[in-house]
A = this chain, B = another copy of it.
Amino acid sequence: MPSIAQHAVNAGEVSSYPTLTDLLARSRDARLDALCRPHVLGTQGRRQIESIPLRARSVKAGGMLFSPGEGLHAVYLVRAGMFKTQLVNLDGDRQITGFHFPNELIGLDAFRAREHDCYATAVVASRVQVLPIHRLNALMRQVPALAETMTKLLSENVTEYEQLLMLTNTQSALGRVAGLLFSFACRLGDHNQPADVLYLPMSRASIANYLGLALETVSRTLHELETRDIVLRRNNKTIDIRDLDALAALIGITTTS
């Protein structure tokens, strides 16, 4: 009921919001569940973390936040911009393992082996807040619920890999790109932002690497989605989602109850 009042503020613009929200809620149990909500702090967890005095840090586009081998000094809460995490093996092959939105935590990988195993790079000029590990540990001792939250976040981190593996192993190019967009939309929605306008600051090559496709295929697939009136490209980096139902259908997610 309170939400109706909110919507009334600019009802003309946001008339589609409820439907979108419904869709996301209804697809919560579906295939891409975890891929859609990685590293999201619940209201409770966020409040806990917000009680820690946080140092801010800016990272310019292409800048590195941490790299493999670095010890577990801190985890980072993305505040603005976007990061990608990527593995690089000794042959120099890269594998992007995730894109990270504002309000998502990165650096959790270091919790496993006491050091980071991937590069975290800013896709665009970005800003993070630094959670020093000793402070986090101290707070976890005080607030057991936070420790649980961290465990859960770590677990979701792995579930992301599982979902990505499933996506790339079972879906066609169309399904993979759709999965990416759907994931982005869900995550924006989770952060109470309009989920029908997606900003894709990363290069096509990055998307392609993430999804296991050629970069031309990503381009063509986005074009195909536009042809089908599922998305609308404003420009290179910005697309509108016009038919989330159809998008979900492409990856086999049943949004209708």
Interface residues of chain A, those whose CB is within 8 Å of chain B, are 29-31, 87, 89-91, 93, 95, 97, 109, 112-114, 117, 151-152, 154-155, 158-159, 161-162, 164-166, 168-170, 209, 211-212, 252-254
Contacts and interface: CB of A to CB of B under 8 A. Distances in A.
A182 to B, nearest CB: 14
Given A31-B93, A112-B158, A161-B165, 17 more contacts: A30-B90, A31-B89, A31-B90, A91-B254, A95-B162, A95-B169, A97-B162, A97-B165, A112-B154, A112-B155, A113-B152, A117-B159, A117-B162, A158-B158, A161-B162, A168-B169, A169-B211
Q: How many copies make up the complex? A: 2
Contact of A166 (B31, B93, B170): B93
Interface centre among A109, A113, A165, A211 (most CB of B within 10 A): A165
Contacts of A155: 112-113, 117
**What is the predominant secondary structure among interface residues of chain A facing chain B?**
helix
27 contacts: A29-B90, A30-B90, A31-B89, A31-B90, A31-B93, A87-B162, A89-B166, A91-B252, A91-B254, A93-B166, A93-B252, A95-B162, A95-B170, A112-B154, A112-B155, A113-B152, A113-B155, A117-B155, A117-B162, A161-B161, A161-B162, A164-B165, A168-B168, A168-B212, A169-B209, A169-B211, A170-B212
A116 B158 CA distance: 13
Contact of A30 (B91, B113, B165): B91
Contacts of A97: 162, 165
A31 to B, nearest CB: 5
Contact of A91 (B31, B90, B209): B31
Contacts of A159: 117
Interface centre among A155, A169, A170 (most CB of B within 10 A): A169
Given A93-B31, A158-B158, A161-B158, A169 B212 contact: yes
